[in-house]
Amino acid sequence: MTRRTADRKVYAHAKLRRLRREHGMNQVDMARALGISTSYANQLEQSRRPLTASVLLRIAEVFGVDAEFFSEAAEDRLAADLRDALADEACGVPLPAAEEIGEAARDHPEVARALVALHRRYRDAAEQTAALGSPALPPGEPHDEVRDFFYAHHNYIDVLDTQAETAARVMELRPGRTADPLATRLAARHGVRVVQGAVGHSPDARRFDAESRLLFLSPWLSDGQRAFQLATQLALLEHGPLLDEVAESASELTSPDSSALARIGLANYFAGAMLMPYTSFHKAAEEVRYDIELLSARFGVGFETACHRLSTLQRGGRRGVPFSFLRVDRAGNISKRQSATDFHFSRLGGTCPLWTVYEAFSAPGRILTQVAEMPDGKRYFWIARTISRGGVGHHAPRAEFAVALGCELRHAHRLVYAEGVALDDPRSATPIGLGCRICERRDCAQRARPPVGGRLAIDPNRRTYVPYQVENTGA
């Protein structure tokens, strides 16, 4: 699989055409700048010829992009989103073939994105109308728009990451010993006094009173969590204009609520990048082969925080393993999902119960691994573990989640968790899907509902559900 990926030809598709237009060039201008013939430039834009290494390097010089710009990951993501939208039974249209959906995402990405956005607005409107009976329809769900923003940036915001790394260096922050220097800076630069919140007074980990300049922190925070909240507050106070600039420039954010929520997410991103500066964290991750527990101990943060940071290591010239990260509860609700890969988190029909992230609840505190194969044949390596949150004491409310990190199987050999796993054996892969609503698998005993375009019948001999087409039922 690794060899197939390495040997796969790279095509420009619509991306080269978009680059050319953004720079105000016609094909003749571009051909001259790249040192190629006009006919060759036309063939590249029409995907009739693949990009050679020399042309890729020249494109990088002329347009200021790297080779990853032409990765198929973004197209695969968009195709999955478009399939989600078209598979919605409320749309009432036959689902096109997977090849046609892929071609639409590849050759007409703006049209595909417009269809996906239109579908999301429709779902938001329909859900609010059904739940509230309200005629006031929002432009989009803020949480989804913020996820889309980070998703579009592969969960890496360079300007924030570099600025946070600089701030950590100027403050001479030492990994695992950052809380006191951060509290001192808040007091000296901003007149903010950190106090412990009253037990049981508020469920918030952090609450800032701008008038009194008091920062209330939960008494149940660990040292790492306390440092993270202090760093978040410092980001909001010292780097507010930068956070605003990034949020305001995001085309995915269409409402004030979305921008405000994104600003909080960006402040959290800045905090993580300050506690775990990119260069040192990336170096440590490579040294310990992405051992999350060792990284947590070295940088004084929790397991979840280390996982989240690992999913952001996508700086040009110093990339880490591209991970997808998520957090779920026992009911299957996904409260966090970030991705630096083309792995797609479905918006419809939940997620697959065969995914190891759900098995983690049956083995609290243990790290589980899984080689998972998607319906399109792509394989991923996943690790998952439970985490707990809450106060101390018998009556204190607690919450339990499972967090997971996944990467394409071709990167798995870089992880300590892959030791002893038969990565190249197809029999070691667990077939999973994006949720029963849109999963194409026809032989899954775990199905909860029929796939798009079919129904389920009970086979008394197999004692399981098997699908059959609607047209065969006479319905």
- Position 214 scores a pLDDT of 94
CA distance 268 to 271: 5
CA distance 79 to 89: 18
Mean pLDDT of 56-67: 79
CA distance 26 to 11: 19
Longest Cα–Cα distance of the chain, Å, equals 77
**Predicted confidence (pLDDT) per residue in 223-281, tens digit:** 999 999 999 999 999 999 999 999 998 887 888 889 999 999 999 999 999 999 999 99
Work out the pLDDT band at 391, boundaries 50, 70, 90.
Answer: low
**Predicted confidence (pLDDT) per residue in 199-232, tens digit:** 655 567 899 999 999 999 988 888 999 999 999 9
Contact 185, 234 (CB under 8 A): yes
- pLDDT higher at 49 or 2: 49
> Which range among 150-154, 242-246, 391-395 has the greatest average pLDDT?
242-246
Mean pLDDT of 23-46: 87
Q: Please give the DSSP secondary-structure letter assigned to residue 177.
A: B
CA distance 270 to 159: 10
Helix and strand numbers (H, E) in the chain are 18, 13
Percent residues over pLDDT 90 in the chain: 41
Helix axes 27-34, 13-22, angle to 10 degrees: 100
**Residue 408 backbone phi and psi in degrees, to 5:** -60, 145
Percent residues over pLDDT 70 in the chain: 81
Give the other-Cβ count within 10 Å of 222's Cβ: 11
| 2-70 to CATH, choices 1.10.260.40, 2.40.50.100, 3.40.109.10, 3.30.70.1350 | 1.10.260.40
Mean pLDDT of 183-189: 95
CA distance 78 to 56: 23
Residue 83 has pLDDT above 50, yes or no: yes
**Predicted confidence (pLDDT) per residue in 282-329, tens digit:** 999 999 999 999 999 999 999 999 999 999 999 988 999 999 999 999
Give the other-Cβ count within 10 Å of 230's Cβ: 28
Sorted by sequence, the CB contacts under 8 Å of residue 57 that are 6+ apart come out as none
- Position 375 scores a pLDDT of 81
Residue 145 has pLDDT above 80, yes or no: yes
Sheet of strand 379-390: strand arrangement: 334-339, 324-328, 398-408, 379-390, 368-373, 429-431
CA distance 117 to 252: 10
Amino acid present at 267: A
For domain 321-432, is the CATH number 2.60.40?
Answer: no
- Position 474 scores a pLDDT of 38
Amino acid present at 318: R
- Position 464 scores a pLDDT of 45
- Position 304 scores a pLDDT of 95
Determine which of 40-54, 350-364, 402-416 has the lowest per-residue pLDDT on average. 40-54
Sorted by sequence, the CB contacts under 8 Å of residue 472 that are 6+ apart come out as none
- pLDDT higher at 59 or 130: 59
- Computed over every residue of the chain, the mean pLDDT equals 82
Give the other-Cβ count within 10 Å of 249's Cβ: 9
Residue 49 has pLDDT above 90, yes or no: no
Tally of CA atoms within 13 A in the half-sphere of 305 that contains its CB: 29
* pTM exceeds 0.85, yes or no: no
**Predicted confidence (pLDDT) per residue in 418-458, tens digit:** 999 999 898 889 998 877 766 777 778 887 776 655 544 44
Work out the pLDDT band at 415, boundaries 50, 70, 90.
Answer: very high
Residue 181 has pLDDT above 70, yes or no: yes
- Position 74 scores a pLDDT of 67
- Position 335 scores a pLDDT of 85
Amino acid present at 141: E
CA distance 319 to 418: 20
Amino acid present at 86: L
- Position 56 scores a pLDDT of 83
Q: Dig out the tokens for 27 from the structure.
A: 């094909």
Contact 121, 134 (CB under 8 A): no
Work out the pLDDT band at 152, boundaries 50, 70, 90.
Answer: confident
Sorted by sequence, the CB contacts under 8 Å of residue 44 that are 6+ apart come out as 12, 16, 36, 51, 55
Sorted by sequence, the CB contacts under 8 Å of residue 78 that are 6+ apart come out as 105, 109, 112, 113, 116
**Helix boundaries (H) for 206-289:** 223-238, 240-248, 256-275, 278-287
